[in-house]
Each structure stands twice: as C-alpha cells, then as structure tokens.
Structure 1
Amino acid sequence: MRPDEFLRALHLLPIPLHDRAVALRAYVRPTRCDDCQQIGDALNLALTAAHYDELSSTQHLLDAAERLTTRHGTACRHQPDQQRGRGRVGRWAGTSAPLVAATDASWKGRAGGIGYVGSDGHYGLRSRGTGRLDPTGVSRVLINELRAVEFLLSAYDEVPAGMTVLLDSLVALRYLHRWQAGDTGAMPAGYNLRARRWSAQPTLVRLAEAVGQRPDLCFQHVKGHAGHALNEAADGLCHMARRRLDETFDVRPRAHALVDAFLRDWHASLTR
C-alpha cells in the first residue's frame, strides 16, 4: 500500500480506529520479515474492510495486528524515511523561492535507479532490479523516468500547488502533458496493467490519474548533463541508487552531501 492510499483509507475510520491504524503505519510497506508481513497484511485487510463499511471487521483486524505487534516487537522494522529512500537537507526547508524539483532515472544491464531532488531540500533515491512485469528496451527507461516523477510527488502528503518539475526526457514529458490534458489511459508500450501485490493500481496508472487532476503543476524539459544544478543532483542520485545494487557503500551520507552541494549552487544562482 502506497502512502497516499494509506492516507485516503484513514479518512474512512472513526477517530479511535484512525489513531490505532496510524500507530501501525510502518507495517504497510514490503518487508522480508514474515512476522512484520503478517502485521501488514492484517492492517491492509482492516483498511479494506473499512472501505466496505465493515467497521466491526476493521476493529477485529486491528486487534489482531496489535497482538502480533506486541508479540513480535518493532526492532526489525526500518524507519519509514530510511526504507523509502527519502531524506531532506533541512537548511533549505524555509526557502521562499518557488518550488522547483528535478527527477531522473538510470538503467544499466539489469540494474536501475530513480531519483529526485527539490529546491526545498527534499530528495529521494531508489534502486530497481528487473521485474517480471517490466518491458525491455527503450520502454524500460521511459517507464522509470515516469516512476521517478511518481516517487517525487508521493513524497508529499499534498503536492505543493504550482510546483515545477524538470525532466531531461522529452518522451516522458509528452506523457505527463497528455495526462494533464485528460488522456490518462495513454501508457508506454509494454507497460503491464496487471494489479500489483502492494497496490490496487500500477504506479503509472496512479501517476496519470494524479497528474490529470493537477493542471497547476508545471512539467518542463531541461537538457541533461548541461550543468543544471537540480538535474545534475537528480542524475547523481539515480546513478548512486543503481550502483548500490552491485556495490557496498553507505548511501545516505553520500546522497545528503551531494544534494546539499547542488542545492547550494542552485540557490546561489537565484541571487545572481
């Protein structure tokens, strides 16, 4: 279950159940721990029951999830922001300049990475392997360029109005503009629309619907590898995420330092 889906489901719950579900939020994401998986399954079922107005079932399922949590403990769970590959350089949080962000994707062989950075200090990077539902060839790169945009937008509980998003992929940009114009059924060649295990909708379907409802967002092209600070930062993050699949290094301090350096250049350029 994605963060936006979880937040929407919470609105279906009365206050006591709402607060109990929020306390279990860390378990909605995929994990290799069987016990954590059972807790997450119970929570997902509880929210599904709420969707069908079966609040008594929701309460019983939350009871079960809480019992499992008490028995298992929480030591093996990652913190949500670490698990999601997101971070923030705090000193740029209070900037008054219009919000601008850049996204990018990198793919080599069977390893890929996506990344984003915002002028408000938000950033994210995520490694991707080859999945059985992924197409090959140029569509794979395009799909991951678009996944990077969804990764950015899902970082916010509510996407800031008027945000500008920069991409160096003209093909991805055309899809975003088509979706904003209402053609939300358009998908890259080979993109599989089968239901995913952790979401009722595939990533690009969610993205298309979200973008179609946000005409205020501005998607613009930026030339890649041309020295644009935000694009270079996003490029560095997605390459770092891709390399992380084959190399062992502590990615978080490197990502934080990279983003801070490029944001310093970006904000300095605004005052020249």
Structure 2
Amino acid sequence: MRPDEFLRTLALLPPPLHDRALTLRAFTRPTRCDDCQRIGDAVRLALTAAHYDELTSAGELLDTAERLAADHGIHRRSGDDQQRGRGRVVRWASASAPLVAATDASWKGRVGGIGYVVSDGHYGLLGRGTGRLDPTGASRVLINELRAVDYLLTGYDEAPVGMTVLLDCLAALRYLHRWQAGETGAMPAGYSLRERRWSDQPTLVRLAEQVARRPDLTFAHVKGHSGHALNEAADGLSHMARRRREESFDLRPRAHALVDAFLRDWHANATL
C-alpha cells in the first residue's frame, strides 16, 4: 500500500480507529516476514472496510491485527499514552509555580495537528486528517483549536484544580467562556451534532459540558508568535504533529526536546 493511499483511507476512520490503525502502519509496508505480512493484510482489509463505511468490520479487523502484532511481540496497543502522543518531561514535575497550560492547532490542506504543554512537564501532540464531519474554512480551524483543549483536559482523570489554559485563538476562547457560563448548546458553525459511532458524545459537546462543570479553570488569551514560551511550545507541537502525517521522522524525541527547551525558558521567566 502506497503512503498516500494509506493516509487517504486512514482519514475515513473515526479517531479511536484512526489512532489504532496509525500505530500499525509499519506493517503495511513490503516485508519478508510472514507474521508481519499477515498483520499488514488485516490492516489493509480494515481500511478497505472503512472505505465502504463498514466501521464495525474495520474495528474487528484491527482487533485481529493488534492480536497478531501482540503475539509477534513488537506492538503496543494504542491506548498507551505514548501512542496517543502524550508524554512528560519529568524533571519539571516538582515545579512549584502555579499550573499553566497552553494549547494550539495547526491546519494545512487536508491535514492538521493539535498540541498542548503544561508547566509541570506534561505534553501531547496528535495529527489528524479531514473527517466526514469536519466543516471547511474558518470553522475547521476553530473546531481544532477547541479539540486541542479537549485533548489537554482528557489527558487527566480530572483536570487539576485552578489550572490556567492559554489560547491564542480569541474565537475559541469566546466559546470556552460561554460554555463556562452555562451556554453549552452554543457550537461553532457547521459543527455536526449527529450521533458518533465511536463516542457517546461529539468532542465539543463533551468539552462544553466539562468546562461548564469547572468554574475553577481559567481560560485566557495569549498573543500568538509573540515569544511566549508555552504558546510557542504548543504551536511547535501542533505543527510537528501535522507534518508527521505526511513525513517520516522520529517524532517523540523531537517533541520531548522541544518541550524541555521551552519549559526551561518558562520556568526561568515564569509569568502568564
């Protein structure tokens, strides 16, 4: 399967299946290993099923591929935080400054990325393609800015009390403030509320309800590309995640080094 074919078909999958298939991508490449070939066949069949909107079958085929890969001894399920793009620079875990996070999104053509960084060393980055439920234009960018906030908050069992979240998108910030004020029905133009097969709720509906329950969280604006360390880190992570959808490079060490460098600057000059 050619890389462009894989990525084009991958975009048809909902987020949970998308991420599982992405971690199995290496098995779709030519190989002399019979076990790897069987795993790759299952992944290719899953993508074919997705092409025909048979998402249940696609999920079952990915189950098969993951089981075969686990037996082969070289694959970890995508539920692992690292496979989901999350990580932590542990030397900042004991930092005493108030907890501050920044989120950002990047979009170009048909691929995008979201990212976040927290002053205690937590970070995450995730690439995504255009889905069937994604609108076009300005709303797509806005929706992904909000998805980045959801990605941050769902990285915790319960978001830390009193955390400040910085965004450089004023439109996204306005929605967060409206939701926090109880207007959870307000949604960006074009955002589909139709039932999702892969989730109990659409992402932004879940985010709106969570934000409404958390008056202790502070959502604040930061000017983009102004040298703010946390914003620059989140921006860099989102761009890195977007590029990784189309290029091949070792993502994790680059992300880890980027976060560490910007957090060093943040803690040396800690201000919002």
Output the TM-score relative to the length of structure 1.
Answer: 0.74
Separation of aligned partners in 2, 1:114 and 1:74: 32
Distance in 1 between the 2:270 and 2:174 partners? 28
2:225 is aligned to 225
Deviations 1:74-128 (A, max 9, x none): 8433360122110000000111111000000001111100000000000000001
Q: Tell me the residue number matched to 2:117.
A: 117
- Which letter does structure 1 place at the counterpart of 2:163? M
Answer whether contact 2:70 2:76 (CA < 8 A) is retained.
no
| Partner in structure 1 of residue 32 of structure 2 | none
Q: Structure 1, unaligned stretches of length 5 or more? A: 1-27, 45-64
- Map 1:1-272 → 2, pairs under 5 A: 29-30=16-17, 31-32=20-21, 73=71, 75=73, 76-78=75-77, 80-270=80-270
Name whichever of 189-198 and 176-185 sits farther off: 189-198
Q: Aligned pair in 2 of structure 1 residues 179, 73: CA closer, same or farther (>3 Å)?
A: same
**Which residue number corresponds to residue 34 of structure 2?**
none
Structure 2: how far apart are the matches of 1:164 and 1:131?
30
- Compute the RMSD of aligned alpha carbons: 2.5
Structure 2, unaligned stretches of length 5 or more? 1-14, 22-38, 47-55
In the TM superposition, what is the alpha-carbon distance from 1:29 to its structure 2 partner?
Answer: 4.7
Query: For the Cα contact (< 8 Å) 2:86–2:124, is it kept in 1?
Result: yes
Distance in 2 between residues matched to 1:267 and 1:82, nearest whole Å = 25
Moved over 2 A (4+): 28-35, 68-79
Deviation at 1:73, TM superposition (A): 3.9
1:69, distance to aligned residue in structure 2 (A): 6.3
In structure 1, what is the equivalent of residue 7 of structure 2? none
Q: Report the TM-score when normalising by structure 2.
A: 0.74
Shift of the alpha carbon at 1:270? 2.7
Identity %: 74
Q: Following the alignment from structure 2 to structure 1, what is the Cα–Cα distance between the partners of residues 193 and 257?
A: 38
Q: CA deviation at 1:70?
A: 10
